[in-house]
Amino acid sequence: MTPTPVIKHRRSLAASGIAALTLGAAALVPAPAMAAPAGCEGDTSGASWVFLEAQNMRNAKGWLTVKIYNNADEFLGSGGSMDVIRVPAKPGNQRICMKLPENGTYAFFVYHDEDMDKKLNFNFLKMRPTEGGGFSNNPDMGSIRRPSWKETAIRVSRPGLATRVTVKYP
């Protein structure tokens, strides 16, 4: 079986040194290795990793993109993600495993980049997305607004933590 390509963009962790310090110290003793669940695409080679299931992908066009944030001040800011993972999209529920530099607090923004332009597209008024998206903790997005770090941040206390994000389409 040919492995699925994983396209990544990693911001230098050194550039976010102060942010990394605010996450707290990494565990002094590494946790035992944990195997990735069946059907989970991605990389689990980091000191920690997350198993994320993107639910409700409507088709196989483009990429499933996950932006990983580790800092409240940079959350959803331009260039604020510490990592971006892209895998070919699959309809239904899609599993992806993502390595992390350490256990800590992270927020995940998931979107279905159907046209593969590496961004979430919006309508002509720039008010509503035209592609599907969602966040860790699945915050209520009833009105047009960005969720806060507090609403989306999750504590990754061990490698292999599982979380689900519902991808919602306009």
Q: What are the extents of the domains in the chain?
A: 7-25+37-166
Give kind and range of the element (H or E) at residue 151. helix 149-152
Which runs of E-coded beta strand occur in the chain? 7-10, 41-42, 48-57, 63-69, 83-88, 92-100, 104-113, 133-135, 154-156, 161-166
Residues 27-79 have pLDDT tens digits of 333 444 566 677 678 888 889 999 999 999 999 999 999 999 999 999 999 99
Res 121: pLDDT: 92
Among 82, 45, 48, which Cα is nearest to 66's?
82
Contact (CB, 8 A) for 130 and 122: yes
pTM: 0.78
pLDDT for res 7:
55
